[in-house]
Amino acid sequence: MFKELLQKINERKAKIGIIGQGYVGLPLSVELAKQGFKVTGFEVDNSKVDMINKGKSYIGDVNTAEMKELVKSGKLDGTADFKNLAKVDVIIICVPTPLRKSKDPDVSYIISAAKSVQATLKKGQLVILESTTYPGTTKELMLPMLEETGLKSCKDFFLAFSPERIDPSNKKFGIKDTPKVVGGLCELCTELAAAVYGTFTKVFKVSSTEAAEMVKLLENTFRAVNIALVNEVALMCDKLKLNVWEIIEAAATKPFGFMPFYPGPGIGGHCIPLDPHYLSWKLKTLNFYSRFIELAGEMNSKMPEYVISKTADALNNKGKALKNSKILVLGAAYKKDVSDLRESPALDVINLLITKGSKVHYYDTYIPSIQNCACGHTLRSEKNLSGLKKYDAVVVVTDHTNTDYKKVLKDSKLIIDSRNAFKNNKSNKIVRI
């Protein structure tokens, strides 16, 4: 069965099913279809299924014209019928892995996907988990569920883990330019998974599924800890009356031993705020307390409050109180040039401003509305920047490249810039974190 499936993969005759068609699943579906595979996207959201089958992209990094061509050629389709998993040779799981309020891992989406695979599992199939999770999930959670069918891993079916490495809106490193890490239950599982990803990118094999799971957590914990460090340096520089952006720019001229990270209003997205806590939770079950992860989380979570403090001080210097001031939050997405609101620090900034009595509006061409705000109703983005003069302050939270910063500078009374969007501009209107 190993040789037969490997031959199918190498000859692009293997049928691939990808569970979850979001920021990770859809780009992967399109890329594998471009390599010649017949790919089916499995998705519980019928509206996404309809868009896939119409060849319409709902992800910024996926080209609609390419999708249409793939759908037209029969290489790509979508379905909400998970019984069709029985028709594919390779199943890749790309579902969300959020945290509960207690910061414990919520693996319910993985369990749901595994149950769907379990219900249709057949001999000779390869199953790959891509969802970010704690070390041991593939072997301790998924493997027992799949073997409940009576089929045996590495004999009747194959199981591997390969962490997703999608960075939305990154024009330099897309899915084809980023190597894939692969770890299987055995060498056969690793070889098959590597063969799939090797059709479009470089592959680095590790010794186990646990090692592959740990790789992803190391990557994002590294980022979270370094962002926390530079956020603390920003607070230090504020006390020392220094420009943290100048300090980082100068330090970055060193060609070795330094990697620049930048401060901001907090961290967001589905990875950096969550992934380190997956690792921390796992370690707590082994009586190990991760001080770096906890401290980094504490530091990063303070940044929205720091932005509010800087805003209040800047308004006070203008003879105004934060309460009843009219404030425009510029940018709501968690990072620039994406339409993803998940874990965005803008949500914290907006809610903190509202609870302190400010009259808050926001502008973001990628995020038309924000629900469940502290104001008790849905906030809707301003249609344009024509009314800047009516605001007491503009707080830059997300520095989208399509924003007219010249107009913002010209028409605003006061700007609190948490992203260095007005780099090297010395206007006395600008207050930087």
Q: Nearest to residue 398, comparing CAs of 284, 307, 272?
A: 307
Distances (CA, A) of 177 to 120, 139, 166: 33, 29, 10
Which strand ranges, in their side-by-side order, compose the sheet holding 415-417? 359-363, 326-330, 393-396, 415-417, 430-432
Q: Nearest to residue 111, comparing CAs of 129, 123, 126, 124?
A: 129
- What phi and psi, each to the nearest 5 degrees, are found at residue 358? -75, 155
Check: CB of residue 146 under 8 Å from CB of residue 114.
yes
Buried b (16+ CB within 10 A) or exposed e, 282-293: beeeeeeebeeb
Question: Would you state the structure tokens that stand for residue 381, as one six-digit string?
Answer: 């983005």
The DSSP string of 245-260 is HHHHHHHTT-SSS---
Q: Which residue has the tokens 């796992």?
A: 282
Distances (CA, A) of 26 to 18, 32, 43, 67: 8, 10, 10, 10
Check: CB of residue 379 under 8 Å from CB of residue 401.
no
CB atoms near residue 42 (< 10 Å): 28
* Cα 7–Cα 10–Cα 13 angle in degrees, nearest 5: 75
Question: Would you state the structure tokens that stand for residue 158, as one six-digit string?
Answer: 């194959």
d(CA 160, CA 175): 19
CB atoms near residue 362 (< 10 Å): 25
Annotated active-site residue 271? The verdict is yes
Distances (CA, A) of 48 to 21, 51, 402: 8, 5, 26
- What phi and psi, each to the nearest 5 degrees, are found at residue 262? -130, 140
CA 49, 50, 54, 56 torsion-angle sign: negative
Question: Would you state the structure tokens that stand for residue 216, as one six-digit string?
Answer: 């992803």
Catalytic residue among 154, 189, 271, 373, which?
271
Q: Which residues contact 218 (CB under 8 A, 6 or more apart)?
A: none
Question: Would you state the structure tokens that stand for residue 416, as one six-digit string?
Answer: 């609190």
Catalytic residues: 271
